[in-house]
Amino acid sequence: MNSMKANIKKIAVLTSGGDAPGMNAAVRAVVRSSVYYNLDVYGVYKGYDGLINGDIEQLQVRSVSNILSRGGTFLLSARSDEFRTKEGRAKAYENFKANDLDALVVIGGDGSFTGADVFSQEYDVPVLGIPGTIDNDLAGTDFTIGYDTACNTATEAIDKIRDTASSHERLFFVEVMGRDAGFIAVNSGISGGAVAMLLPEHNWGIDDLIRRLQRGASNQKASNIVIVAEGCKLGSAYEIAAKVKAQLDYFDIRVTVLGHLQRGGSPTTSDRVLASRLGVAAVEGLLNGESNVMVGVVNSSVVYTPINEAVKTIKKIDADEFRIAKILSI
């Protein structure tokens, strides 16, 4: 540890933006590792709004008992419009200093990190981000907290949909979350045996999909499932289903939008371990002088990436996964 350790005595932690399974595990790791290193740790409730409104309280080891397996975030989360303003950030800083806080840990996605980046630069506050989003769209980490659980939830739903699809020889369009990224779509598509996956990252047209479905019909597939990422450029699952029905009216088509189901539930083992590892690394990073960075795991090693880079770098889907999905969809 360098001399920076002497300057960090009190750490605050908050969760911001959309919730993700494993956020509680990350908070727990931040709290317990802070206590381990003889630091005071404070929880900020309701994201940046809590920092603005002074909704802050000290946490102890027992404050985070029995939350490891719980989905959501006990600190609560919100998207703060006020924090986007200079006046809002000024109020947040006043409360930050009023509580004699030295550093801030932010658990969230790109929007949360953008706010953290601005706050850190405006007030010279040491900030460290932990990637908590089901979308898996942040560079600087192989996986984000909540992604694995969301994929498992989507796959379980697809498996159940396939049961009824097979019983009635139906074509189902299943819309999954992910915003502008297709990571959940491609992974749940492979694990769920989808005939096609429509992603924001690929320029598939309706004609391409029609050909794929016609090929499946000629191979006498008993059921067909098409995964649609919510950011797909062709439209929503309902809109795409209508376009397909107009050309292939012999299909009995149904649509299921999984929605916020994917953000809930007990985190998987992978998400709990990842969240625990990143929570400890966040505290240790601050003690080692890291600031305005996001902690992640790349190739099994902990790495620190500038927040600005983590947010702005476009994370690409592994082309080999898409190739595999195409081979297996016949």
List the domain boundaries for the chain.
Answer: 4-146+267-312, 147-263
Coil, strand or helix at 242: helix
Q: Within the chain, how many helices (H) and strands (E) appear?
A: 12, 11
- In this structure, the number of other CB atoms found within 10 A of the CB of residue 202 comes to 17
Q: Which of 10, 80, 75 is nearest to 44 (CA)?
A: 75
User: Would you place residue 329 in the very low, low, confident or very high pLDDT band (cuts 50, 70, 90)?
Assistant: confident
How far apart are the C-alpha atoms of 176 and 291, rounded to whole Å? 34
- In this structure, the number of other CB atoms found within 10 A of the CB of residue 66 comes to 9
Q: How many CA atoms lie within 13 A of 287 on its CB side?
A: 18
Considering the chain, what percentage of its residues have pLDDT values greater than 70? 96
- What pLDDT, in 10s, does the model give residues 94-111? 999 999 999 999 999 999
- What pLDDT, in 10s, does the model give residues 203-258? 788 998 998 888 877 666 656 899 999 989 999 999 999 999 999 988 889 999 99
Q: Which of 84, 143, 86, 145 is nearest to 112 (CA)?
A: 84
The CATH architecture that domain 147-263 belongs to is 3-Layer(aba) Sandwich (3.40)
Compare 124 and 164 and report the one with higher pLDDT: 124
- What pLDDT, in 10s, does the model give residues 176-200? 998 889 999 999 999 999 999 999 8
Query: For the domain 4-146+267-312, what is the CATH code?
Result: 3.40.50.450
How far apart are the C-alpha atoms of 99 and 274, rounded to whole Å? 30
How far apart are the C-alpha atoms of 141 and 160, rounded to whole Å? 31
Which strand (E) or helix (H) includes residue 281?
A: helix 269-287
Active-site amino acid positions: 135
- What pLDDT, in 10s, does the model give residues 262-307? 999 999 999 999 999 999 999 999 999 999 999 999 999 999 999 9
- What pLDDT, in 10s, does the model give residues 67-97? 999 999 999 988 888 999 999 999 999 999 9
What's the whole-model pTM score? Answer: 0.93
Asked if residue 95 lies in contact with residue 4, where contact means CB atoms within 8 angstroms, the answer is no
Contacts of 189 (CB under 8 A, 6+ apart): 196, 197, 227, 325
> Do 4-146+267-312 and 147-263 agree at the fold level?
yes
pLDDT at residue 220, as a whole number: 64
How far apart are the C-alpha atoms of 91 and 94, rounded to whole Å? 5
Q: How far is CA 173 from the centre of its chain?
A: 23
- State the average pLDDT over residues 165-176: 87
Work out whether strand 171-176 and strand 301-306 pair parallel, antiparallel, or are unpaired: unpaired
Compare 80 and 149 and report the one with higher pLDDT: 149
pLDDT at residue 330, as a whole number: 72
Handedness of CA 188, 108, 238, 322 (dihedral sign): negative
